[in-house]
Amino acid sequence: MSLDKKLVDELINITSRASIACHSFIGKNDKMSADKAATDEMRKCLNQLDIDGKVVIGEGELDKAPMLYIGEKLGTGKGSTIDIAVDPLEGTNFAAKNLPGALSVIAVTLEGNLFNAPETYMNKLAVGKDVPKDATDLDFPIEKNIKNIADAKNKNLENITACLLDRPRHKEIIEKLKKLKVNLKLISDGDVSGALLVTQKKYNIDIFLGIGGGPEGVLAASALDAFNCNFQGRFLFKTEEDISRAKKMGIDDLNKKYNLNEIIRGDSIFCATGITTGDLVNGVKLKNGKYYTETLVTHKNSFIDIVKKEVAIT
């Protein structure tokens, strides 16, 4: 069963409006206000849709930011029953400091097809469709993953590029990659967009890996699925509170490794609108009294690859 194609334009409008809502906070060093503006606008717009929606991936617990919370019901209740994943402002620091790569992101599936992820960390690995599914694995040593990617792409190791968050927790991984003479793209935030860089050759990213947010992993997976990429994730539970929350969500095997088809199933729509210009899309622009936005969108069952749609909103 497919999602209604009219949802594509409706969701583009929603992420565009959320992006515009926080435009005035760009560079003001106030990430909380920017996040609240995007969240409030996204909630308002979603509640106007003829859907029976429920948030299964919310945002904000780790940063104590304003939330579209897990379990929140959205829409008029008149249409299809859908699961919703949101990150109204992906890359809060990017927006606050006027740095590249801030996005407003949403993904939807029909009910029951999107993994209900806890607000905790996840160890992730993503590669493009040109790498065989069995060539990489979270349980492989980094050296094996990199060498298998190089073999699959007929590249030398020094021509492989890995993307990961620039965090102290990745010190060991970074040192191993340097020993292999692999090129590094270290990002300060925004691991949804980081994972999506494996989708097309023009980004020149061969693997995305490392520890980031679990909800962001599920959001990225919805787009990666449309590109037939490979993704694996394993949640990391550091506190008893994390474990308790996961068990309430039905996660019994705390060490389970999740493949892409276990995170997202069936048809999906993914939208990411630029707030500040980054690798994927341009940021919000104001021209002659109109806001212009650019959105990366995938709709799996209508075989949309990457479509960048520009929308003008007065």
Residuewise pLDDT in 10s, the chain (314 residues): 789 889 999 999 999 999 999 999 999 999 999 999 999 999 999 999 999 999 998 864 444 445 788 888 999 999 899 999 999 999 999 999 999 999 999 999 999 999 987 888 999 999 999 999 999 999 999 999 999 999 999 999 999 999 999 999 999 999 999 999 999 999 998 899 999 999 999 999 999 999 999 999 999 999 999 999 999 999 998 888 888 888 888 888 999 999 999 999 999 999 999 999 999 999 999 888 889 999 999 998 875 544 566 666 76
Contact 235, 117 (CB under 8 A): yes
Assess if CATH 3.40.190.90 describes domain 121-263.
Answer: yes
Strand-pairing partners, residue 86, are 106
Edge to edge, what strands does the sheet with 183-187 contain?
183-187, 161-165, 207-213, 121-127, 230-236, 258-259
163, burial (CB in 10 Å: exposed 0-12, middle 13-18, buried 19+): buried
Contacts with 253 (C-beta within 8 Å, 6 or more apart), sequence order: none
Residue ranges, CATH 3.30.540.10, the chain: 6-112+267-313
Nearest to 131 by CA among 150, 115, 157: 150
| Fold of the CATH domain 6-112+267-313 | Fructose-1,6-Bisphosphatase; Chain A, domain 1 (3.30.540)
Q: Which segments of the chain belong to CATH 3.40.190.90? A: 121-263
| Strand-pair partners of 209 | 125
